[in-house]
Amino acid sequence: MLSFVKMIREDLANARDHDPAARGDVENAIVYSGLHAIWAHRVANRLWRAGLRGPARILAQGTRFLTGIEIHPGATIGRRFFIDHGMGIVIGETAEIGEGVMLYHGVTLGGQVLTQTKRHPTIEDNVTIGAGAKVLGPITIGAGSAIGANAVVTKDVPAEHIAVGIPAVARPRRREEHVKLVDPDYYI
């Protein structure tokens, strides 16, 4: 039980770190659909791993109905995962998401084939994926990278790179591009 409470506190602190509009823990716990989707996914994922796949899928679909965020119960998601304005997010069954990852609305971590293999992306630690981006296939997005809004990524992105465009082209990140989005000095 203590680990559950600790996890919720960490998620709420993570929401404050990633969203300048986050006012307080109680409000965030009640109104942040991204948090609701992540919490429900953790339960669904445990059910999935325990072999209770029907109940896991039912919980995932109920969460999708309530939040507009579809996370397959088989997806693996690390700590400090944050979904900002999550409507329209789709995360496939074999997707693997590291720690400290942030997704904006409309992101798809999808597949390109219909076989029962690793068919969804692996997102390493501390990656940010912009609104509307599509990351497709069994590719890897390297740690510390960023995917631009509406990019379509179908090839691996090395660590510490930015990928933009359709199809996405990756280039190394510059030092100033590592500024947290919530840093008020960044906007001045």
pLDDT at 187: 39
Higher pLDDT, 180 or 72: 72
* Pairing outcome for strands 134-136 and 90-91: unpaired
- This prediction has a pTM of 0.86
> The domain at 75-188 falls in which architecture?
3 Solenoid (2.160)
Q: Is the pLDDT of residue 188 over 90?
A: no
How does the average pLDDT of the chain come out, rounded?
Answer: 89
What average pLDDT does range 31-46 have in this prediction? 93
pLDDT at 144: 95
pLDDT at 158: 97
Q: Is the pLDDT of residue 4 over 90?
A: no
